[in-house]
Structure 1
Amino acid sequence: MSGHFITFEGGEGAGKTSVLHSLNSKLQDLGYDVLATREPGGIEIAEQIRNIVLDTKDTKIEERTEALLYAAARRQHLVEKVLPALEQGKIVLCDRFVDSSLAYQGHARGLGMDEVFAINQFAVQDAMPDLTLFFDIDPKKGLARIKANKDRERNRLDLEKFHFHEKVYEAYHILMKRFADRMQMINADQTMEAVEKEAMDRILSYLQKSE
């Protein structure tokens, strides 16, 4: 594959989605061929699964069922959208990928990171990101942002107790050490302009080294 697979990760309210869309436009302005997408979702089948796993009414979804649904959505999105774009040489910016499942289902839900990683290895085979940006912000501040943002879609994860979000945050720091070769931390507790600049600098640095 000649493209570049860059994923954006973080807890609720980290601002990664807003930054992703902004950097998508800025990279295109610089002449890069970029595709922005998200998980779960990005294509019709995966968006349907997204509606199931994030619907606030679907509170009965069992933990392993949830992990499997995310992996299923990931597989379809990968083969239908991400891999073809990478083969065309595009830069793919993806809002969440495998690390989200490891953090949310593996660690915060208590299923085990290794167990959830095994499910996802079956789903993605060897298609892991080239670069992952982790948007780091204290869960209390992230959740406060969500509460203040009336335009953000509410999802099932917003119903979780604070301890769950603490576990997610803890998980990402474990993953930062586990995947130190591809994961880089972005300080998300600053102005949007500063966060965007830091993220853009990391991406451009990676792209320049890859040339």
Structure 2
Amino acid sequence: MSLFITFEGPEGSGKSTQARYLKDYLQQAGYPVILTREPGGTPISDAVRRLVLDGQWTAMEPTTETLLFAAARAQLVGEVILPYLKLGGIVLCDRYADSTFAHQGYGLGRNLTELREITRFATGGLQPDLTFFLDLPVEQGLQRKRKQRDDFRESSQLALPLPHLPQPSPSQNEHWNRLDAREIAYHERVRSGYLEMIAADPQRWQVFDAGIERESLTEQLLLAVQPHLTTIKTLS
């Protein structure tokens, strides 16, 4: 048996951090586990990530954005996720198809039926076994992201640039991208969309308060994953 767990949530909810903590815990416990992310996770998907999230592309059409995310996802599923699941491992993914429904569907108003067809084509119908939703009020999450952005800029200014290496532009800041910069109303629609999806499929989703202490949230996630590990063989 294998296990496919995805992390979703508003911007700044701490998904990436908690996914790393869970990966480290499972690895130390002897489970075969990998952590990947969307968009990204392969050289091709990472190239798409740089394109689709770069802040300079303000004129990108919603359809273009949707198809780029789907292309990155198709490569990640085919190259990384499916092969590891077939080996009986645990795959943790920082965002997956639900992000498309939330952002391009509810956020940008794209037709959800069309998005489901595109997603099914890109993933071969692969669904997560479990999705952890780290919930946080939109403004609180964006405040966290702004702080990360500002800290990044400050540290970049303090660092001495190496002349033989290309220097990242502000639009390539991993802590603040083209989607982060959208208006509050967009992010509110995204969060509302997530809550609708959770209500429609409560068996798959587990909701956590991302506003609590980081250590407490980690403990809750570790407890939540335990019942799903009974069919996974450890490496030892």
Shorter-chain TM band? over 0.9
Counterpart check, 1:12 vs 2:8: no
Separation in 2 of the partners of 1:74 and 1:37? Answer: 11
Farther-moved stretch of structure 1 (195-204 vs 144-153) = 144-153
CA distance in 1, matches of 2:67, 2:51: 12
2:221 is equivalent to residue 199 of structure 1: yes
> Unaligned 5+ residue runs, structure 2?
153-173
* Cα distance between partner residues in 2 of 1:71 and 1:137: 26
Aligned-partner Cα distance in 2 for 1:18–1:112? 32
Q: Would you say how many aligned residue pairs link Structure 1 and Structure 2? A: 210
- In the TM superposition, what is the alpha-carbon distance from 1:210 to its structure 2 partner? 7.4
Residue 134 of structure 2 corresponds to residue 132 of structure 1: no
| Structure 1: distance between partners of 2:33 and 2:126 | 18
Matches within 5 A, 1:106-185: 106-149=105-148, 150-151=151-152, 153-185=175-207
Alignment of 1:16-27 (within 5 A): 16-27=15-26
Contact kept? 1:106, 1:114, Cα under 8 Å? no
**Displacement of 1:90 after TM fit?**
1.0
Q: Match for residue 104 of structure 2?
A: 105
Give the corresponding residue for 2:42: 43
| SS class of match (2:179) | helix
**2: distance between equivalents of 1:145 and 1:172?**
20
Deviations 1:76-114 (A, max 9, x none): 110000001111111000000010000000110000322
TM-score by length of 2: 0.85
- SS where residue 207 of structure 2 aligns? strand
Hey, what's the Cα distance between the residues in 2 that align with 1:43 and 1:175?
28
> How far, CA to CA, are the matches of 1:146 and 1:6 in structure 2?
24
Give the TM-score normalised by the residue count of structure 1: 0.95
Q: Which runs of 5+ in 1 are unaligned?
A: none
Question: How far does residue 14 in structure 1 lie from its aligned partner after superposition?
Answer: 0.5
Change (3 A) 1:14 1:133: same
Counterpart-to-counterpart distance in 2, 1:210 and 1:27? 11
Across the aligned residues of Structure 1 and Structure 2, the Cα RMSD in angstroms comes to 1.4
Measured after TM superposition, the shift of residue 115 of structure 1 is 2.0
